[in-house]
Amino acid sequence: MHWARILGGTLLAVMVVLFLCHFVSHVFVLSGDAFNGKVDGDRYFLGSRGQYTEVSEGVYRYSQWLGLALIVVFPFCLVVGGGLVSWADRVEKRRLAARLSERGLLTAQQFAVRHFGPEPSRIELAAQLRDILEKETGVAMAGLRPDDRLEDVSQGVFPGDPSLFMEIEERLGVDTGVQDWPRFEEAVKKLQTFHDLVDFVASCPKKETTESLHLDEPPRGPLATGLERGLSFGFGRGWFVVFGLLGAAIVAGLLGLPVISYAFLGALVSSIGLVLACIGLWLWLLAIATFRARRKEGTLAGACFSLLIWGFVGTFVAWCGVGAIWGFFANWPR
């Protein structure tokens, strides 16, 4: 599956580069594009909101081909690249689950009693940590052994992603030091196996309160819950919709029905743009939640910095989604 990750990642990188080239060229440099422009004899004009700028034929052709590439290549890279990465992840998870299941199936409690007894507190800790690891990786850990490398059973995510330790802090009420990144990074380097993880968490001090807001999650209001459910459905089942709309657009184009083909492409771009806009809004909720939590802890500077960073990222992602929809329909052929 290594080839699928490389190819998928390359296509996604091409998509990002293509978008940036189009954005920088047409917004900051050319002040228009060929789709809204016109050709008058030997003169070539780029258009934007009814205003025309005369350019050379080479610049006009560049804008024309870049616009076509954005309409055709961008969805292709997004669908195929994202599909390959998602497919590789699923195949690797199935292979890992099958490999673990060959060792025999144990419940979390049976696993903990067999390998971490006889102390009740240590048994309970090991069982909870296996449940957390299973939840974070999405892989059944029924065949896990204490000497298994965390990097192997987490598909290479550990130790780069601190979400596992954030979940441990929330579930077990301990301080793993994940917010003190230099110290945390140094401690994580020593964790190689699941047994090391149990020893590490057992040595962590208890938090003063376990009711503090999880910094990496937005408040559980109706808006945040609805966004999470919608995005979860979009990422889980959205590939079928994307492939269906793209296939329908191609078929309509081959049948000589350009308006219908553009309508399907419009639905495709609108769907992707809406997902990006929802992600941007979710990031803004994250920014607000992080700001409130850190302000309560008395770190106003850190709270403002988090609000600025996450707010900027959320705004940019939402702008990309809305801009994609607006840009497509603004260039609708007349």
pLDDT digits (tens, 9 = 90+) for 234-279: 666 666 777 777 777 777 777 777 778 778 878 888 888 888 888 8
Question: Is 212 within the bounds of a domain?
Answer: no
When pLDDT is cut at 50, 70 and 90, the band that residue 157 belongs to is low
Query: Residue 238: inside a domain, yes or no?
Result: yes
Residue 302 near residue 294 (C-beta atoms within 8 A): yes
Residue 154 in any domain: the answer is yes
Measured distance CA(318)–CA(283) in Å, rounded: 9
Domain final position from 62, 82, 101: 101
Residues 25 and 45 occupy one common structural domain: yes
**Are residues 52 and 89 part of one domain?**
yes
Q: Which of the residue ranges 39-43, 86-90, 167-171, 256-260 would you say has the lowest mean pLDDT? A: 256-260
Residue 117 reports pLDDT greater than 70: yes
In a domain, 208, yes or no: no
Nearest to 34 by CA among 18, 58, 15, 4: 58
At 216 the pLDDT is: 43
Question: Is the domain of 89 the same as that of 112?
Answer: no
Question: Does 305 lie in the same domain as 238?
Answer: yes
Higher pLDDT, 226 or 260: 260
Interval 282-334: pLDDT, tens: 888 877 877 777 777 666 776 777 778 888 888 888 888 888 788 777 766 55
The answer on pLDDT for 215 being more than 50 is: no
Q: What is the CA radius of gyration of the chain?
A: 25
Residues 8 and 53 in one domain: yes
Among residues 71, 101, 131, the one where a domain terminates is 101
pLDDT of residue 35: 74
Domain that holds residue 323: 222-330
Span 7-33, mean pLDDT? 73
Does residue 159 have a cis peptide bond before it, meaning omega lies within 30 degrees of 0? yes
- Enter the pTM of the model: 0.51
Strands 33-40 and 51-55: unpaired
Could you tell me which residue, 21 or 279, shows the higher pLDDT?
A: 279
- Residue 34 binned pLDDT confidence (cut-offs 50, 70, 90): confident
User: Rounded to whole angstroms, how far apart are CA atoms 48 and 330?
Assistant: 9
Nearest to 158 by CA among 184, 144, 137: 137
153 and 137 Cβ atoms separated by less than 8 Å: yes
pLDDT of residue 1: 60
Answer yes or no: do 178 and 271 share one domain: no
- State the pLDDT at residue 236: 61
Residue 38: the pLDDT is: 86
Overall number of domains in the chain? 3
Q: Is residue 210 part of a domain?
A: no
Q: Which amino acid is at 16?
A: V
What does the pLDDT average to over 36-63?
83
Distances (CA, A) of 157 to 133, 144, 151, 170, 206: 11, 17, 7, 20, 26
- Structure confidence at residue 124 as a pLDDT band (50, 70, 90): very high
Residue 136 forms part of a structural domain: yes
231 found inside a domain:
yes
Are residues 318 and 293 located together in one domain of the fold?
yes
Domain end residue (candidates: 169, 203, 237): 203
For residue 26, being part of any structural domain is answered with yes
